[in-house]
Chains A and B, each alone.
Chain A
Amino acid sequence: MNLLTLVLFLPLAGFLAALLVPRDRPGLVRGFVLVVSLAVFVLSIGLALPQAPAAQGYWFETNAPWIQSPAIRFHTGLDGLSLWLVLLSTLLTPIGILISWNHIDRRVKEFYAFLLLLEFGLVGVFVALDLFLFYVFWEVSLVPMYFLIGIWGHQRRIYAAVKFFLFTMTGSVLMLAAMLYIYGVTGTFDYPTLLTMLASGRWHVESGEQMLLFLAFFVAFAIKVPLFPLHTWLPDAHVEAPTAGSVMLASVMLKMGTYGLVRFCLPLFPNSARHAAGWIVTLAIIGIIYGALVAMVQPNMKKLVAYSSVSHLGFVVLGVFSFTQAGLDGAVYQMLNHGISTGALFMLVGYLYERRHSLEIADYGGVATPAPWLSTVFLITTLASIGLPTLNNFVGEFLVLQGSAQVNFRWTVFAAIGVILSAVYMLWLYQRVFFGEAGEPVRHHVYDLSRREWAAILPLLVLMVWMGTLTQTFLPAISASNARTLERSNVNVEFQVKARTPLVAGQAGQAEARPAKEPPDAR
């Protein structure tokens, strides 16, 4: 049992133990899960320490048989892509527990137990290196989130929970079918083995076949991202979820989709991914602008932040499908950035809700007077979210735009409009909530940050500055694994040359420039 396995299974053990705590001791449950999740976080920091480059292998690899026939292995490991996402999950779980401390007053035990189960599923998704295992964790993470929304949510919680579950499930059963097909052809679910087979030409897929497989995976991930027009579950789920649920959903769960794109879609189906890149980028850009425009007119703060997520994640997809080193680095960095800044935004909106018991922007105004520290923290988070230099989002957005400009300058132009719009809706939100005359209810109910609330938000503020200034802490590992992904996505691009739609023209040219990579007798 190595450190990674420990980080993976400790939350599960905590979940089971939390279930055994007597129902009438809510304080005990809270303390217990907080200790467990902090322990998991501290252990997971250990994962980031050995930065020795893992050439082909993975850090902390575990590879044990689980089911003999069909060959399914318990294969887990870390690389630069998954490392920071695992850390993001383990960091946000204790934070989610802290912000729910007084907020959750019924069925306390189950709430915190489900948070730990969710952590188990999320970490599992990021470390699984076997397609089947990945699918299992993918579904495991779904169930606790369904309950978090459905039991502790707001008025329309059941509708939102069912919608969330059905959307994700519909996509993922098709992904399962595609996985089984791959197994039928290759005889393995093992991700590294599949990559080797693909590179050596032992697993050769026809273009039409590859496109179908790609689409089955892509749709599952695109629903989770969510990519326009599959995003409709997201505003509902976010608005109805309790604060901790929104935070975990926005910060980590959405990353399951983008992670899947980078981890599976690009290296396993390189031709189709390049072939479809034009269309996908178009959808991503529509998402960027559409999300921003819709966010601008929202009267509800949570909905506004939810639509801003659609916009931000469009950047990630744009970066991924630019097929450039800068674009991919930016996309992965932006996944972390979005997790931190949007997570923080949801937390702050949750703080406001705990005070004023309303999510409507119109019910606020002048909050800066009674709560100066809260306003300051919100301002920093807002500025981070709109991409102010020296704060984290700037780095990610810059890299994504740079990467997309290398391929097609028009993409960059359209995407940059989204950056401007994000400043518009966020600053306007800030103005309407924090400035102006403080009404009677605001003066009466709104108070400044408590020590517990500081403890929850401070790590995120530190990370915003850290990630905006000291990018070298994070980027080298990400770049190394992205370079490998890009290399793999170049293994065979023979039919890519024919795919010349106007939008991918630049990139098709790139592909033509690399015919030497193609083994002459691949067919």
Chain B
Amino acid sequence: MACVEDLNKEIVLSGASFKEAREYVEAHCIEIYYVEPGFRLFEKHIIGIPPIAIGLDGDMVLFPFTKPCYGTFLIRAEHAEEAARLRSLGLKTTKEKK
């Protein structure tokens, strides 16, 4: 399992609001899974406003990554193992706001 810092990644959005990052995933990905805050992705507990959208395209994973001083980044990383794990978990594929 790779840590976020060690991933070969592309930053799709930087300094975005969390909402902007979610909207980007929903507008650009066909395969989307929704997770809750604290969900473990790339060895980190994801920070986010539920429901948190993660997009998949083959082995590419598109996900938000929030840092206190820099806002939310939307990151695209190729990682077959994590993509397969996400597909295997039976996650929600539709947005159900809590």
User: Are chains A and B native binding partners rather than an unrelated pairing?
Assistant: no
Residues of A within 8 A of B (CB): none
